[in-house]
Amino acid sequence: MTGGPIKVLVIDDSALMRKLIPQILEKDSSIQVVGTAMDGTFGLRKIEDLHPDVITLDLDMPRMDGLETLRQITRSYHTPVIIVSAHSTSGATLTFKALSLGAFDFVAKPRDAASAKMDDIANELISKIKVAVRAEKRKVLEPPEDVPTKAIKPLVRRKLPCSKLVVIGISTGGPNALQFMLSQLPGDFSGGIVVVQHMPEGFTELFARRLDETCAVEVKEAKSGDMILAGRVLICPGNRHIKVRRMPLGDIVLLTDEERVNGHRPSVDLLFRSAAQEFRSSTIGLIMTGMGEDGAAALGDIKTAGGLTIAQDETSSVVYGMPKAAVEMGTAMKVVPLNSIAETLVTFVQHSRPIPDPSISVGD
C-alpha cells in the first residue's frame, strides 16, 4: 500500500451486509470501500480490477464459498483477509478453519445485524483493517489445513497441583500460534496454564475443544471454580474476566463480569495481576502476538513478584503489538520466537531452572 486511504473490498452474499459494512467503515476517513461482491467468483474478479489493500469476507456463500475464495486469495494475491463471521457454532467452525488457511483475523457479526447492530463492531473492524495493512506478511508457523488426528494423551491423568503457573495473554494471530505452541508441550507438563485470548463470546468453547484434540495437555474452556492442575490449560470464555486464587483445598480460577479494563473483557492485565498476587515467584507470564498493549504493564507485576516474564519475538508475531509494548516498557525479561516458547516453558517448569534475576537482562 502506498499513500491514500486504505482500499477495502467487501465480499458477502447478503445485500444487507454489503450495505452495512461499507457504511460503518466509511465513518473513518482513512478507509475507502472500493467495491462489494456477492460471492467469491465475483470477488476474485474485483480483486483483479480494484487491487484492494484489505478484504472482508463472509464464509457462508453460494457458488464459490468463503473458504475456497480464501484459498485462492492466499495463493494468488496475498491480500490480508478479515473474516466477518456468523455468530454460531457452524460459523465458529468455519472461522477457525479460515484462520488456519491464512485469514488475518475475524470479527463476529452481531446476532441482530438487521437492526443496525453492526455499529457495535465498527471500531473493532476498523482497527483490525488498519493493523492488517501495517502488519508484514504473516510469519507465524501455521498448522496444517486439516485438524490432525487426536493427540496422544496420558492414559491416566493424575490430578496433581501445578508446580508453576503459566499465564498467557494473546490476541490477533493467537489461534494458530497457541495451537502450535501448546501442541509442543508434553502430556506430563507439570505446570498449570491459564490463557486470555481476545475472542468473542461463543467462540472460546469450540476453540478450546479444537486445541484439546491436537495437544497432549488437557485444554478446556474455564468455568468458575475449575482447578488449576498440572498439564491443564484453561481458556477464559469470551466477554468474561478470569482471575486465579490459591485456596486451602487447591488452586482455582474465578470468572467475573466486572467492567472492561482498558476496553478489554477478558483482560490480560487483570489475569496477570491476580497471578502475581497469588502465585508470586511461582508465576511465568507470557505475552504473545496481538495488537494493543493489554498485559504489557501487568507483566511488570509478575517480574516484581519474582516470576519469569516472556514476550514472543517480532519475527514470529503476526502482530507485534502486545509483545512490543512489554519489551519497550521493560517488563519482559526474555524475548523468544514462537518455535522455542514451549521448550522455554519446559525448561523453567519441568526442569525447575531458577528464575533469572529480574535486574539482569536475559536477552533472547
> Which residue numbers are catalytic?
171, 198, 294
**Residues 35 and 44 sit within 8 Å (Cβ to Cβ):** no
Which of 299, 297, 251, 303 has its CA nearest to residue 281? Answer: 303
Q: Could you give the CA distance from residue 270 to residue 258 in angstroms, rounded to a whole number?
A: 10
Q: What DSSP assignment string belongs to 293-333?
A: -TTTTTHHHHHHTT-EEEEE-TTT-SSBSHHHHHHHHT--S
Helix (H, G, I), strand (E, B) or coil at 240: coil
Distances (CA, A) of 121 to 21, 22, 107, 117, 195: 10, 13, 7, 8, 23
- Cell 450495505 maps to which residue? 19
Q: Could you give the CA distance from residue 124 to residue 28 in angstroms, rounded to a whole number?
A: 12
Q: Could you give the CA distance from residue 341 to residue 138 in angstroms, rounded to a whole number?
A: 18
Q: For residue 94, what are the contacts with CB-CB under 8 A and spacing of at least 6?
A: 59, 60, 66, 67, 85, 86
